Amino acid sequence: MGMIYRLRDVRLEPEGRVQDLCLRDGHLEECADGLPGVEIEGNGGLLLPGMIDPHVHLRTPGMEAAENWDTGTRAAARGGVTTVLDMPNTRPPTTTRQRLAEKRALAAAARVNWGLHFGATATNLPEIAAVENIASVKAYQGSSTGDLLLDEDEALARLFKAAATADMPVTLHAEDEGIIRERAASLPEDADVHLHGWARPPEAAASAVKRALALAQETGATLYFCHVSTAAELELIRPAKAAGMPIYVEATPHHLFLDERDLATLGNYGKVNPPLRSPEDRKALWEALLDGTVDTIGTDHAPHPREAKERPYREAPSGMPGLEVALPLLLTAVLDGRIPFSLLAPLTSERAARIFGIQPAGWVLADIVTPRALAPEEIESRCGWSPYTGRVLRGWPQYVWVNGELVLDAGAFTPQAPGREVAFRHNR
């Protein structure tokens, strides 16, 4: 018999009845009389499935000053995330089977479950049919991410065909590199972060989405659009989804909870790709989340050290951490009436599990009563900062289970690191 946890006075809905439940080997069941187990006082907390984050950058190998598999998955657990899917733009990028194997070895330190995306280049497409157990093939239509840039239609079409043949989704960073380069050439010498949205405008995102949709229709590829951030993209994607194309949309917390006005206080700490958008774009994204156009929440957790973010605008890297506030941000929105609770599990767990063909493997018991701000000294991410420091939130995880083992115990980490690689079954 595996570990049993007897949970006293927990809820399955924010306004639901308080009850006693048991977790046995990670499976929820009613408590039988006399059943032994570790007792946990829930204090009316909310028990819900752990989040699956399809989009994280744990920066290892090559950028360990920003994050590693221990600190990044600590941040994940703190934020109620029990599975992370890591992106390929490390140093070196994950674009060969050897590099994939090397990254797998590094993930042994993970405290939550994990999987890996594989990077597409113009020269590695034959590898796609041979790689095993990957979440997706990731293509960067923009952002000039080393040799991961793949912005030519012919190369994209070859990628889409190869992925469709392998029954594997293509995850896309959709920004038009031509438009980005044209804008970059026109940036004034004294440009600051307030021009970042102009340098990577909504039309760059819309242009890339339009091209990708046309190629997907030709090839039958399944597309997962990362960090959709504009009304223009959504207007293109909605009819494609309505027509039955296998198209999925991810939204990030920072595009939902921040916009370009926050750059006044964040400065370069708010520099991300795609940029923080207008209030109107943020409103459109919320509407898309509520009407079902948005399928998943991915944090795009992309930390950088403070010293890098404090360089001049042109030199400062793009990206911000987001893992350890993921669930509190969303639960606060639920408790404030912005998101129906019925949408929370689909957005944070169920749809990602279906899209990527994996099994959820975690539970979170969150305090939905006590409001609390994230203090700088509490930050688990190695980068040591968050754009949400000082923001008062509810729904902070108190207990987190991964694969039936307790990782976070009354807000403190246990010695366990039970995370393991997930198995992908792309059978949508």
300 is catalytic: yes
Highest CATH level, class, for 49-364: alpha beta
Give the pLDDT of residue 361: 86
**Helices 177-186 & 202-219 angle (0-180, nearest 10):** 160
Confirm if 291 and 241 have CB atoms less than 8 A apart.
Answer: no
> What is the number of H-type helices and E-type strands within the chain?
14, 19
Give the pLDDT of residue 1: 47
Give the pLDDT of residue 147: 65
- In whole angstroms, give the CA distance from residue 355 to residue 137: 13
Burial classification of residue 74, based on how many CB atoms lie within 10 Å of its CB (0-12 exposed, 13-18 middle, 19 or more buried): buried
What are the residue ranges of CATH 2.30.40.10 in the chain?
Answer: 4-47+365-413
- The whole-number mean pLDDT for each consecutive block of 10 residues of the chain, a chain of 428 residues, reads 87 96 91 84 97 98 96 98 97 95 95 97 86 95 67 89 93 95 94 98 98 96 98 98 98 98 98 98 98 98 98 97 97 98 98 96 96 94 97 98 96 94 77
Catalytic residue from among 53, 281, 295, 300? 300
Strands 396-402 and 405-409: antiparallel
pTM for the whole structure: 0.97
Question: Each residue of 335-389: pLDDT tens digit?
Answer: 999 999 999 999 999 999 999 999 988 999 999 999 999 999 999 999 999 999 9
CATH 2.30.40.10 for domain 4-47+365-413 = yes
Secondary structure of residue 331 in the 3-state scheme: helix
Give the pLDDT of residue 143: 61
What are the residue ranges of CATH 3.20.20.140 in the chain?
Answer: 49-364
Q: Is the peptide bond before 274 cis (omega within 30 degrees of 0)?
A: yes
